[in-house]
């Protein structure tokens, strides 16, 4: 396409009438310093401004100018008080986002190690997350008593960050073991993956999708079955509204090799697997 041919396309681009692909091509071309297309762009901007200015000017009421002055004055007064809060909120949001990325990346990596073709991303850098957390603490020190709620959020994120680090470490470990669990007839849409590793204890991470909400007074319970066929309680959990759940447990003592895993539906506090099997690794 010649630059003369781009003239129309530039007009359509400026006026929001061009599809994203051709628009991006034009943007790259114009930003490359083409003088002819820069002139076409200026021409299109003139037309845009003409349309913006086309309505005959109105007479704004005096109250509007007063309100503008008040808004500006109010914003100035608020800035010193709210700036730390805004920074901290932004920091908390950044940590939360980083945490989500870390967990997602770690989970995908776990899938990749176990042969899941969808796994590809590297886990987020824990050091970066730590820096974010340190910066959040620094911002917190600048804030006042109004920020108590946000402080609690940071502590919660700190806990979750520590858990995320452990999960990522587990999923990245060369000797991590994986068991895929399929839903039984009672839960045909459910599926889960359990990752486990023996270090100074038995570390287990369960990721579940597609579970129905449990009946009142019941919880889902994850059990592992060792080489001797003995079932051992790992933990209880309740899925969220979307049917998803995660369970992260460290069990002390020697648990041996987990050759199988299963999830049953039990009354809270059950010590032995007596309920109906919901998910099993087979």
Partner 1 sequence: MKSGDARALELFYARHAGAVLALCRRILGDSGEAEEATLDSFVQVWDRAASYDPRRASPVAYLMAVARSRAIDRLRARARRPHPIDWAGEAPAPTGTPDALDETLLAERRERMRAALGALAERERHLVELSFYQGLSHREITERLGIPLGTVKTRIRQGLLRLRDRLRSAEPGGERP
Residues that bind partner 1 (CB under 8 A): 8, 11-12, 15-17, 43-61, 64-65, 67-69, 71-73, 75
Which tokens in the block code for residue 220? 């889902």
Q: Coil, helix or strand for 59?
A: coil
Bridge partners of 250, per DSSP, are 203
Decide whether 8 or 230 has the Cβ nearer to partner 1. 8
Provide the minimum distance between the beta carbon of 16 and partner 1 in the complex, in angstroms, as a whole number: 7
Decide whether 47 or 130 has the Cβ nearer to partner 1. 47
- Residue 145 CA neighbour count, 13 Å, CB half: 0
CA-to-CA dists, residue 23 to 40, 52, 242, 257, 264, angstroms: 14, 22, 38, 58, 55
Contacts of 192 (CB under 8 A, 6+ apart): 180, 181, 206, 207, 208, 209, 263, 279
Provide the minimum distance between the beta carbon of 46 and partner 1 in the complex, in angstroms, as a whole number: 7
Which tokens in the block code for residue 19? 């599809």
Straight-line distance from the first to the last Cα atom of the chain, in angstroms, rounded to the nearest whole number = 61
Contact assessment for residue 36 and residue 1, using Cβ atoms and an 8 Å cutoff: no
Provide the minimum distance between the beta carbon of 89 and partner 1 in the complex, in angstroms, as a whole number: 17
Provide the minimum distance between the beta carbon of 69 and partner 1 in the complex, in angstroms, as a whole number: 7
Contact assessment for residue 121 and residue 105, using Cβ atoms and an 8 Å cutoff: yes
Provide the minimum distance between the beta carbon of 35 and partner 1 in the complex, in angstroms, as a whole number: 15
Provide the minimum distance between the beta carbon of 26 and partner 1 in the complex, in angstroms, as a whole number: 15
Q: Coil, helix or strand for 162?
A: helix
Provide the minimum distance between the beta carbon of 48 and partner 1 in the complex, in angstroms, as a whole number: 8
Decide whether 65 or 155 has the Cβ nearer to partner 1. 65
d(CA 245, CA 51): 53
Backbone angles phi, psi at 117, to 5 degrees: -70, -15
- In the chain, which residue ranges form alpha helices assigned H by DSSP? 3-14, 20-31, 35-53, 62-113, 126-142, 148-172
């Amino acid at each position: 396409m010649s630059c003369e041919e781009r003239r129309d396309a530039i007009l359509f681009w400026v006026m929001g009438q061009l599809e994203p692909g051709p628009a991006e091509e034009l943007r790259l071309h114009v930003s490359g310093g083409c003088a002819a297309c820069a002139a076409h762009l200026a021409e299109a901007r003139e037309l845009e401004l003409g349309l913006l200015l086309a309505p005959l000017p109105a007479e704004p009421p005096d109250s509007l100018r007063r309100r503008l002055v008040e808004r500006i004055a109010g914003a100035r007064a608020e800035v010193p008080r709210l700036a730390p809060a805004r920074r901290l909120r932004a920091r908390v949001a950044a940590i939360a986002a980083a945490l989500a990325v870390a967990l997602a990346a770690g989970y995908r990596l776990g899938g990749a190690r176990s042969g899941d073709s969808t796994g590809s991303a590297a886990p987020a850098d824990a050091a970066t997350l730590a820096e974010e957390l340190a910066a959040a603490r620094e911002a917190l020190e600048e804030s006042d008593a109004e920020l108590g709620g946000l402080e609690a959020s940071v502590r919660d994120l700190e806990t979750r960050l520590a858990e995320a680090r452990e999960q990522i470490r587990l999923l990245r470990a060369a000797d991590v073991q994986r068991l895929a669990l399929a839903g039984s007839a009672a839960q045909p849409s459910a599926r889960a993956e359990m990752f486990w590793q023996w270090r100074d204890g038995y570390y287990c991470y369960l990721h579940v999708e597609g579970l129905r909400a449990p009946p009142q007074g019941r919880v889902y319970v994850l059990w592992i079955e060792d080489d001797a066929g003995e079932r051992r309680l790992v933990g209880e959990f309740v899925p969220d509204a979307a049917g998803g759940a995660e369970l992260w447990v460290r069990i002390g003592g020697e648990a041996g090799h987990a050759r199988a895993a299963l999830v049953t539906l039990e009354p809270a506090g059950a010590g032995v697997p007596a309920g109906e099997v919901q998910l099993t690794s087979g």
